[in-house]
Structure 1
C-alpha cells in the first residue's frame, strides 16, 4: 500500500484466491499463490516468504499444537472415552432428556483433552449416539446433540484454535485457555437448557431411564478416573499456571501413553497410527499458519485490511460494528474451516479490537466461538457430517434438530461479545493479564 491507496490489482488477487478454492486447491496453497502474484506484480522481495515461514515454524507456542492433537487422537485410539460418557450417564441419565445432558457433559469433559470438535464428534460421538438410540431416543436428535455438543471442544481448554490465535495475535496462550473456560461452560449449560425446552416444545422422543443408585454412580466415577486424568492434568496445569501450555500438552501426552501401558491397551501399531494422524493434522495446521502469515502480509500491505477497518469503524456504533463483524465470521464459517478463517481475518480482528479498545483475548474467544458455529451450519456442517457418517445417521434428517442448537450457541456468543468479564475475569483473577 502506497500513501494509503488500495492496490488496484487487489480484486485480481482476491478472485484468483477464490477460483483456487473453488477448484479445491488446498487453502494453504491458494493463500501462498495469491500472495506470490501480489509479490510479482508489485516487485516485492521474496525474502518475505522465507522470513514469514521461518517465524511460523520457530514460534515456541506452536510446539503445543502436535502434542494437543496427539492427546485427543490417542485417547480415541485406546478407547477410554466410553468411560467418560458412562459416568455422565449414571449421574444425569434419569433426568428428562438425561442422555442428551450426559452427551453434552461428556463432550465438555472430553474437550479438556482433544481441543477439537471433529475429534469429539468422530470418537466420543459414536459411543454417545449408540447409547442414546439403544435407550430409545430419536436417532436424528441423538446425532444432532452429538454434533452440536462437539462444538464445545474448541472453546474449553486446551483449544487448538486458541493456540493458533495466540500465535497470530502474539497474545498469551495461557490467557487464551483461561479465557475460554467460562464461555465453554456457559455454552454447555445453554445447550442443556435448550434440550429441556426443545424436547417438550417439539415432542422429541426422549425416554426417561431408571435412576442409578449412589453405588453405581460412585463405581462409574472410579471407573472413569483414568480417563479423567488427562483433562484433569491439562485443565489444572493450565488454570494454575504450573505448566506452560506447551509443557502441559507434553505431560498429558506422556500420561496417555503411560495409561495405555498400565491398562494393557498399548500397541506399537496403535501408537504408530496415532503419531501418523497427529503428524498429518499438525502438518496441515503448521502449513496453514506459515502461508497464513504470508497471506496476512499481502492483504495488509495491499491496503485491504485498512480499507475494511476504516469502513467498519466508520459505522460509528460499537454494537453495530461487532454485529457486522460477527455476521462476516458466521458467513465465512458456513464455507471455510475455522482455523483458515482465523488465519485469514486475524489482521482485521486485531485492528477492530484496537479501534474499539477491546482485548485481543476477548475478541479471540469471540472469533473462535463464532467460527465454531460453522461446524453445524449448512451447507457444510462438518461436525454433523462426521457424526452422521460415523454413526450411520442421516445428515439431512438430523439437520433440522442440529440447527436449533445455534440458538444457545448464539446466545453464548452474544454474552462473550458484549460482556467482557465472561472472558477476562478468569485470566485476571489468575494473574495472566492485568
Structure 2
C-alpha cells in the first residue's frame, strides 16, 4: 500500500490531473496486486457518484454561474457600497459584505472570487487602494463562499461522512459571521494605520434604493436556508429552487440573461460538474482501497497511540489539512481524507458536523496558496498581478483566517448551536 501512496503523490508532483492520479494508483493495486475483477472496480467508482445528495452539485454550480451572468453581482455590490462605504476603509468592508451576501447564493470560493472579484478589485483601485490590498481582501473574503451556506464542499463532505447536509449548512452560519467580524476588524486596523478614510457619505435614500434593487437577489439565500430550515426542501431541492429563482431574475425581472449567455453558463456548469464527479468517483475507489488494505485502521491506531486528547488531535489534523490544502484540490482532499480521519474523530468524541466546518475552512485557506490555490490563480489573472506578488498580498490576511480557525476549532458550539436550535441535531 505504501507503493500505491508513493505512486499517487509522485503523479501529483509531476502534474498529472488529480482524478487520473487517484484512479491510476488505485487500479495498479486492484489489477496487479490484489487481483480484483475490473467489473468490481467499475462498480465501486459508479457507486461513488450514485448518490442523491450529489445531485445538488450541478445545481449549486449552475445557480452560482447564473448569478454571475445575470448581472446580480452588480446589484449586490451597489447595496454593499451603500451599506458600508461610509466606514473607514469603506471598500474593504464592502468587499467583505459583498462576499457574505454572494456566499448565500454561489456556494464556492472560486465563483465568489471570479464574480465579485472583477468588480471589487477595479472599484478599489479606482478609489486609490493599492492593488495588493485589493487582491488580499478579495481573496480572504472569497473563503466565506463555502462556509456561509449553501456550500459545495459541505455537500461532498456530508455524502462522504454520512451526515446531514442541512445541519452542515446551518452550522456554517455563525462561523461565517465570526470570520466576517475578524476580517472587517483587520480592514479597520489597516485603514487606521494607513490613514484611509471613508469612500462615500452615508445616505439613507441611497441605501433604501439599492436595497430595493437588490431585494430579489437577497431572497436567494432566504429561499435556500429558509426552505431547508422549515423542512420544505432537501439540499438538492433547495439547489434546484435557487437555479429556478436565478432564471426568473435573469430572464424576466432584470432581463439581463441572453440565450447566448445561458448556453455558455450551461456548458461551464457541465464542464465543472464533470470534473467534480470524476474526482469523486476516483476518490471513492481510492478510499475503498485504503479501507480494504486497513490503512484507515492503522492510521487511527497510530494516532490514538500517540495521544487521545481531542485538542491535540485537532491541532495535528489542522496542521495536516493546512498542508494538504496547498497541494490538493478541495473536493479530492475531502473525498480522500474523510474515510481516513472520520474513525479518529469519532473515537475521541468530536462531532462530525463540527469537524466538517474545520476541514472546509482549512481547505479554503489552502486555496489561497501555491502550488494549487485556485483562488490565487483567479485573482492573479483578474488583477494582472504576478503569482509571487499575489501570494505576498494574501499573507497578512492569514491572521484573521487563522484566528477564525482557532475559534471554530476550540469552541464547537459556534458550529453546533444553530443546528441544535433548528432541531437538526440532538
Same fold by TM-score, threshold 0.5 exceeded? yes
Alignment of 1:171-190 (within 5 A): 171-190=163-182
Give SS of 2:256's match: coil
Residue 294 (1) aligns with residue 288 (2): no
Alignment correspondent of 1:242: 232
Which residue number corresponds to residue 122 of structure 1?
114
Q: Please give the secondary structure, in 1, of the residue aligned with 2:172.
A: helix
Query: What TM-score, normalized to structure 2?
Result: 0.95
Per-residue deviation, residues 338-391 of structure 1 (Å, max 9, x unmatched): 111111111122111111111211111110111111111344432132112123
Cross-structure match for 1:21: 12
Shift of 1:82: 1.2
What residue number does 2:74 align with? 82
Q: CA 1:195–1:151 in 2, change beyond 3 Å: closer, same or farther?
A: same
Which whole-Å CA distance do the structure 2 matches of 1:313 and 1:417 have between them? 19
- Give 2:213's aligned residue: 223
Give yes or no for contact 1:168–1:346 (8 Å, CA) kept in 2. Answer: yes
Q: Indicate whether 1:272 and 2:263 are aligned.
A: yes
| 218-227 vs 385-394, greater mean Cα deviation | 385-394
Contact 1:94 1:209 in 2 (8 A): yes
Could you tell me which runs of 5 or more consecutive residues in structure 1 were left unpaired when the two chains were aligned.
1-9
Q: Which residue of 1 aligns with 2:362?
A: 370
SS of the residue aligned with 1:376? coil
- Root-mean-square deviation (Å): 1.6
Please tell me whether residue 418 in structure 1 is matched to residue 418 in structure 2. Answer: no
Q: For structure 2, which runs of at least 5 residues remain unmatched after alignment?
A: none
In structure 2, what is the Cα distance between the partners aligned to 1:216 and 1:185? Answer: 25
Equivalent residue number for residue 146 of structure 1:
138
2:395 paired residue among 389, 400, 403: 403
1:303 corresponds, among 294, 312, 319, to: 294
The count of aligned residue pairs is: 423
Closer/same/farther in 2, CA of residues 266 and 401 from structure 1, 3 Å limit: closer
When residues 232 and 211 of structure 1 are mapped into structure 2, their CA distance, relative to the original with a 3 A threshold, is same
Q: Is the 8 A contact 2:106 2:112 kept in 1?
A: yes
Q: Aligned partners of 1:409, 1:269: CA distance in 2, in Å?
A: 39
Cα offsets for 1:200-256 (capped at 9, x unmatched):
34x3x7342231311111011111122222222223223333211111111110111
Does residue 381 of structure 1 match 2:373? yes
